[in-house]
Amino acid sequence: MDQQESAAASAGSFISLNEHEQRYYSGLHSLCQADTSGKLSSGKVAELFKASQLPPESLHKVTEVCGAKRLGFFGTPQFYVALKLLAAAQSGLPIRLESVTANLPLPRFVGLQNDPEMRYTTVPPGVDGQGLPAPGSASWTPADRTTFRHLESSVDKKESWSPPRSPCSSPPRSPMNYRSYSYSKQRNGTDPQMVYESKHPSRPIVQLEQHSSPSNYGTKATVEHPVIVRASSSDRLDHQGLVDYSDDDPWRITEEQLEYYTNQFKSLQPDLSALILGSVAKNFFTKSKLPIPELSHIWELSDVDRDGALTFSEFCTAFHLIVARKNGYPLPESLPPTLRPGFIQQEADIPDTPEDQNIIERLQPSIATTKQDLKEESCQQDTTVMMTTPQQKQTLRLDAFPQRPEPPQDLDPQLKTKTRPRSYSSTSIEDAMKKAEEPPTPPPRPQKTHSRASSLDLNKLFQQGAIGVKSGWLPPPPALPPRPTTSQVSHFAPEKTPQNKVQQPNFADFSHFREEEENRVKVEEQGPRSRFGLSTEDLSGTSKQDLIGASHSQAPQKPVRRKYHPEPQNLESVPPPAMFPSHTKPAQKLPSRQKREIQMAIRKNKETNAVLTRLNSELQQQLKVVHQERVTLESQLDLLRPLAST
Amino acid sequence: MAVCIAVIAKENYPLYIRSVPTQNELKFHYTVHTSLDVVEEKISAVGKALGDQRELYLGLLYPTEDYKVYGYVTNSKVKFVIVVDSSNTSLRDNEIRSMFRKLHNSFTDVMCNPFHNPGDPIQSKAFDGIVSGMMVQTG
């Protein structure tokens, strides 16, 4: 070992630790660290000391010498000194401060009761020599001490064939190589000194100590130094092992990893169907000591529903990406297909159920695992990508867990709010929509009361109709289909003097028929068809008058107008009455009631028609005005454009 | 297609600014800075009347000879500014609005990232991707 002058990070400078010691000690430090103030949990420290298999007196001496007794707690420097002293004691040197400076092997600890221990120790009994450790059948629940005992014994077994003090016995080590390889990696990973680490103290470090001498460790350390892995994850270990000798897709989450992620998820959020909030996840992932931009990128990749929280699958994705990154894989630009949440979910469904059963068999059946089973089964029923619809998943879980309806329900609204309805954009959208709608449908403009102070032309025109009214005559209904009206008005306005369109009297007959067609529309509304012929006759006479007043007429009807227009208004009024009585004569054959009814209807129609025509003409006028404005604006724009383009 | 896109924080310092002809960047930075005054004006004018019904899209802020500047402000007073080349056949209003909408969505995605501290410059690849998609493709 090189005696480098590397002072321990937090240790006092009075002892100098070499590289390996540094790493090892900081790993142990993380093992024992219980709180963030730097004080080590005395319980953990005591465990560690006991694991060193030194007699209690020496332990007391160590405590005294390193200064913890004086201080009342183990700070980091004290801890490091204590470790050094333990190493000294183990190698037979007296426990004194001077011993600290000696070139000592690393202290060895036996029988540390830590959780991750079992992960590794499950391997030795079953899978020594095999590449793959048994799928994490051991429970990861830290609190389960029963398994510790079981595994501890296996640890002891491990010890037996690699005696603690013997330096590298390569044969026993080779099957363990991949494991110790990761052990050492984990040891290098002094980073993950996180709270959850305390739950899974780095037992592997202990293991490694048993199996390899410091020198061996040294070689391994140099090999694994560039690789920094989060400690206490056999999953990662396994993952690494898998990667080592199988060219598997590194983005594929293995079963063990999934188990591990599940446990980690549970440690953060007991309900597997719930979400981990962003801040919680941030704290958790920050412990991985990856740079923040990388973590940010990982988050972007894994939070597929963009809700600022991680579902279980998203969490697995993120965790896996972090693991991969720690192992040296560059971060992908986009989410690999095997890490897609749907994929993970499908994976989770299949492997987890048998494993869960194993867990149940081996361990105390925990509600969590059964729930996981239920969850997995319920998830299995889902075929498609569930994570894209977290709400759907949520409801499924709700079905599966009637026992705990409340927490998931609490999270449901959370979920819904987190799916970010993006209502902020709605305002602009709505406004855009409104603006888009307005031009096509101009407001109705009930301008019936609008001033008649339109152009004089219109007034002139309407005077004819008005005169018709004044004369007590019914205002002639437009008697035209609605469509041609606009065109007629536009024709009409420039016309100004409809006098050109006098019609010959002989056209009247034709107009009869034509107007019959037009008036049919109104006639049908009014009365039975039996009176059709009569009404048309009646109307035909009046329709001519309509044409007089109605400024809009089709070309064929112009002759009708011409008939009346050149005549002075008096004349107009005369012939119509003349016409009218003549027409009414045949009508008198009919019952007078019907006739009156018809006439009343006719009058009403005529009135409405007159109003409508007035309205129409006014609108047309306004349209013209607007057109003119537009033209002026366009011309201005054209004038301005050459300026703008320069 | 935009020539320059900028995101400005509430305190009027830039969170993200990117322009396409990278040689003239200073000019665009200056333009964006001056457009902030117009944005403030618009915000304050409407704010009194309507309160939180303020329109997010501010429209054309500032036409100059070469280009036009459009503005958009979020409810948290984060401003987006897009500078468009005038010689471009004028993009319709709706297109500008959709650009802002995309920006806003992408911005909220960035904000949702717990590793991003509000007030930090935006360093998100997804956001960069969206912005690049909107910039002029001058190669």
Give me the residue spans of the domains in chain A. 19-99, 255-344
Is A445 at the interface with chain B, CB within 8 A?
Answer: no
Which residue has better confidence, B59 or A611?
A611
Rg over alpha carbons for chain A, rounded to the nearest Å, is: 48
Interface mutation vs chain B, best among A417, A425, A437, A438, most B CBs within 10 Å? A425
How far apart CA A266 and CA A275 sit, in angstroms, is 11
Residue B50's CB is within 10 A of a number of other CB atoms, namely 9
Q: Which helix (H) or strand (E) holds A319?
A: helix A312-326
d(CA A326, CA A231): 11
Q: What is the ipTM, given to two decimal places?
A: 0.78
Please, which pLDDT band fits residue B26 given cuts at 50, 70 and 90? confident
* CA R_g for chain B: 14
State how far the Cα of B125 lies from the Cα of A335, in Å rounded to an integer: 13
- Any idea how long chain A is? 646
The more confident residue out of A305 and A169 is A305
Residue that is written with structure tokens 């490694």 in the block: A208
B101 touches A: beta carbon within 8 Å: yes
Say yes or no for a CB contact (<8 Å) between A306 and B100: no
Contact criterion met (CB < 8 Å) for A282 and B55: no
Contacts A437 to B, Cβ<8 Å = none
∠ at Cα A408 (A406, A410), nearest 5°? Answer: 65
**Interatomic CA distance for residues A442 and A424, integer angstroms:** 28
Q: Do residues B69 and B31 make contact, with C-beta atoms less than 8 angstroms apart?
A: yes
pLDDT band at B54 (very low <50, low <70, confident <90, very high): low
CB contact at 8 A, A508 and A642: no
Quick one: tokens of A576? Answer: 């119509």
Comparing C-alpha atoms, which of A206, A164, A141, A152 is closest to residue A367?
A: A141
Sole residue written with tokens 């509430």? B10
Q: Phi/psi at B19 (nearest 5 deg)?
A: -130, 155
Per DSSP, the three-state class of A9 is coil
Residue B7 β-bridge partners:
B16, B80
Helix (H, G, I), strand (E, B) or coil at B59: strand
Within 8 A of B97 by CB-CB distance, chain A residues are 428-429, 432
Give the pLDDT of residue A444: 56
Mean pLDDT of A41-52: 74
Q: Which chain B residues have a beta carbon less than 8 Å from that of A424?
A: 56, 74-75, 104
**CA distance to partner chain B, nearest, from residue A335 (Å):** 12
pLDDT greater than 50 at residue A632: yes
Average pLDDT, stretch A160-189? 41
Please state which of the ranges A226-230, A251-255, B71-75 shows the lowest mean pLDDT.
Answer: A226-230
Nearest residue of chain B to residue A436 (CA atoms):
B94
Tens digits of per-residue pLDDT, A401-455?
Answer: 444 444 444 444 444 444 444 444 444 454 445 444 445 555 555 555 545 554 4
C-beta atoms surrounding A508 within 10 Å: 18
Has residue A271 got a pLDDT over 70? yes
- As a whole number of angstroms, the distance between CA A187 and CA A412 comes to 41
Residues of B in contact with A431 (CB under 8 A): 55, 57
Whole-angstrom Cα distance, residue A493 to residue B8?
57
Given a contact cutoff of 8 angstroms between Cβ atoms, the answer to whether A186 and A288 are in contact is no
Distance of CA A415 to the CA centre of its chain: 10
Inspect the interface and report whether the beta carbons of A420 and B108 lie closer than 8 Å: yes
- Residue B73: beta bridge partners? B79
| B36 vs A222: CA distance, rounded Å | 56
**CB proximity A447 to B under 8 Å:** no
Query: Residues A226, A103: contact at Cβ < 8 Å?
Result: no
CA–CA distance, A131 with B22 (Å, rounded to integer): 54
Token pair, residue A38, equals 């730097």
Residue with tokens 């007959």: A509
Query: What is the rounded distance in angstroms from the CA atom of residue A426 to the CA atom of residue A241?
Result: 52
User: Would you state the pLDDT for residue A420?
Assistant: 47
Q: Is A428 an interface residue toward B (CB < 8 Å)?
A: yes
Q: Is the CB of residue A585 less than 8 Å away from at least one CB of chain B?
A: no
A296 touches chain B (CB under 8 A): yes
Could you tell me how many residues make up chain B? 139
Report the pLDDT value the prediction gives residue A255, as an integer from 0 to 100: 84
Among B93, B102, B113, B123, most A C-beta atoms within 10 A, so best to mutate, is B113
Give the residue from chain B lying closest to A277, CA to CA.
B114
The architecture that CATH gives domain A255-344 is: Orthogonal Bundle (1.10)
User: Mind listing the pLDDT tens digit for each residue in A74-89?
Assistant: 777 777 777 777 777 7
Our CA-based measurement puts residue B10 at a distance from the nearest CA of chain A, in whole angstroms, of 17
Closest residue in B to A643 (Cα) is B65
Find the closest chain A residue to B92 by CA distance. A432
- Report whether A402 contacts A294 (CB < 8 A): no
Supply A83's token pair: 């470790």
Judged by a CB distance cut-off of 8 A, whether residue B66 touches chain A is no
Which chain A residue is nearest to residue B64, measuring alpha carbons? A644
pLDDT, residue A419, reads 46
Q: Does A420 touch chain B (CB under 8 A)?
A: yes
Judging contacts by C-beta atoms under 8 Å, the chain A residues touching residue B100 are: 428
CB contact under 8 A, B57 and A431: yes
Alpha carbons B66 and A528: distance in angstroms, whole number: 72
Per the listing, tokens 């080349």 go with B85
Q: What CA–CA distance (Å, rounded) separates A182 from A176? A: 10
Yes or no: say if A33 and A56 are a contact pair by the CB < 8 Å rule.
no
Please determine, looking at this structure, whether the domain spanning B2-134 carries the CATH number 3.30.450.70.
yes
pLDDT at A616 over 90: yes
For the cut 50, the answer to whether the pLDDT of residue B96 exceeds it is: yes
Determine whether the interchain pair A300/B86 forms a contact, defined as Cβ–Cβ distance below 8 Å. Answer: no
pLDDT given for residue A612 in this prediction: 95
- Position A55: which residue type? P
pLDDT for A365: 46
Asked whether this chain's domains A19-99 and A255-344 adopt the same fold, the reply is: yes
Return the higher-pLDDT residue of A263 and A463: A263
Average of pLDDT values for A454-464?
51
Q: Quote the CA–CA distance of A210 and B134 in Å, as a whole number.
A: 60
Within 8 A by CB and 6+ apart from B51, the residues are none
Mutate which: B46, B115, B132, vs A, most A CBs within 10 A: B115
Considering only residues 220 to 279 of chain A, which have any Cβ-Cβ distance to chain B shorter than 8 Å? 278-279
Rounded to the nearest 10 degrees, how much is the dihedral formed by the CA atoms of B5, B8, B12, B15? Answer: -110
Q: Minimal Cα distance from A305: which residue of B?
A: B109
Q: Does B88 touch chain A (CB under 8 A)?
A: no
Model confidence at B49, in pLDDT bands (50, 70, 90)? low
* DSSP H or E segment with residue A209: helix A203-211
Nearest C-alpha of chain B: how many angstroms from A115?
30
- In chain B, residues with a C-beta closer than 8 Å to the C-beta of A422 are 105, 108
Amino acid at A622: Q
- Kindly report the number of other CB atoms within 10 A of residue A450's CB atom: 14
Picking from B93, B94, B125, the nearest residue to A300 by CB comes out as: B125
CB contacts of A307 in chain B (<8 Å) are 112
CATH architecture of A19-99: Orthogonal Bundle (1.10)
Question: Which residues does chain B have within 8 Å of residue A427's beta carbon, measured at their own beta carbons?
Answer: 53, 55-56
Q: How far is CA B102 from CA A91, B61, B126, in A?
A: 67, 19, 12
Q: Does B75 touch chain A (CB under 8 A)?
A: yes
Top-confidence residue, A111 or A337: A337
How far is residue A269's CA from residue A275's CA, in Å, rounded to a whole number? 7
Exposure string of B69-99, with b = 16+ CB inside 10 Å and e = fewer, is bbbbbbeeebbbbbbbbeeeeebeeeebbbb
Distances (CA, A) of A446 to A439, A450, A478, A619: 17, 8, 19, 11
Residue A599's closest CA among A474, A442, A430, A446? A474
| Mean pLDDT, rounded, for A30-43 | 64
Are B126 and A300 within 8 A, CB to CB? yes
> What type of residue sits at position B135?
M
Structure letter (DSSP) for residue A68: H
The secondary structure element, H or E, covering residue A523 is helix A507-526
Q: For residue A281, list chain B residues with Cβ-Cβ distance below 8 A.
A: 114
CA distance A127 to A119: 12
Cβ separation of B112 and A425 shorter than 8 Å?
A: no
Kindly state whether A333 is in contact with chain B, defined as any CB-CB distance less than 8 angstroms.
yes
Establish if B109 touches chain A: CB-CB under 8 angstroms.
yes
Break chain A down into helix, strand, coil percent, rounded to 5.
Answer: 65, 0, 30
DSSP 8-class letter at B75: T
Span A379-398, average pLDDT: 44
Residue A28, min C-alpha distance to chain B (Å): 29
The answer to whether A644 faces chain B, any CB pair under 8 Å, is yes
Contact residues, chain A, for B112 at CB < 8 Å: 278, 303, 306-308, 420
Percent above pLDDT 70 for chain A: 31
**CA nearest to A429 within chain B:** B97
- B124 interfaces chain A, CB cutoff of 8 Å: yes
Confidence check: pLDDT of A561 > 70: no
Q: Which residue has the higher pLDDT, A183 or A66?
A: A66
Q: Categorize the per-residue pLDDT at A609 as very low, low, confident or very high, splitting at 50, 70 and 90.
A: very high
Contact list, A279 vs chain B (CB under 8 Å): 114
- For residue B63, CA distances in Å to A121, A378, B21, B67, B134 come to 73, 59, 19, 6, 20
- Round the average pLDDT of chain A to a whole number and report it: 58
- Going by pLDDT thresholds of 50, 70 and 90, the confidence category of residue A610 is very high
CB of A503 within 8 A of CB of A563? Answer: yes
Q: A364: phi > 0 → left, psi -120 to 50 → alpha, else beta; which?
A: beta
Q: CA-CA distance, A571 to A565, in Å (whole number)? A: 9
- Tell if the CB–CB gap between A428 and B113 is shorter than 8 Å: no
Q: Within an 8 Å CB–CB cutoff, is residue B98 touching chain A?
A: no
Quote the Cα angle for A403-A404-A406, to 5°.
140
Cβ contact, residue pair B115, A299, below 8 Å: yes
The neighbouring-strand residues paired with B59 are: B71
Residue A277 has phi, psi (to 5 degrees) of -70, 160
What number of other Cβ atoms are within 10 A of residue B136's Cβ? 15
Rounded CA gap, A33 and A36, in Å?
8
Residues of B with Cβ-Cβ distance to A646 under 8 angstroms: 65
**pLDDT score of A633:** 94
pTM recorded for the entire structure: 0.36
